[in-house]
Amino acid sequence: MISQEKLQKVLSKLKAQDGVRGVVITTMEGLPLSSDLDSDTTENIAAIITSLVGKALDAVRLLREGSLSFLTLDTTHGQINIAPDEKEGLILVVLKKN
């Protein structure tokens, strides 16, 4: 598992980028490991994104499309960028403004 120090470095680096509203790092099981958002929002994001990633992984496997590396959701407020890493067992979620 990745160290808390490394998680904080990733979080800080991403948060410093222009237009980033929030960053969440969660396990594939939905356990939030690191976030710069309030705890309720973090827990909700972790639960919902974990479910979404699970469905996307199932679709990619079923369609024999290799492996899932990245999801982007375009919203009216910006983008939700999702990077699952099955090897590390982590999901990175970045909320960006338009």
Q: What is the pLDDT of residue 98?
A: 87
What b/e readout covers 52-61, taking b as 16+ CB neighbours within 10 angstroms?
bbeeeeeeee
CATH of the domain at 76: 3.30.450.30
Average pLDDT over residues 66-83: 96
- 31 lies in some domain: yes
Provide the domain limits for residue 65.
4-10+26-97
Q: What is the pLDDT of residue 49?
A: 97
Give kind and range of the element (H or E) at residue 45: helix 39-62
Q: Is 51 exposed, middle or buried (0-12, 13-18, 19+ CB in 10 A)?
A: exposed
Q: For the chain, how many structural domains are there in total? A: 1
Average pLDDT over residues 23-32: 95
- 17 lies in some domain: no
- 63 lies in some domain: yes
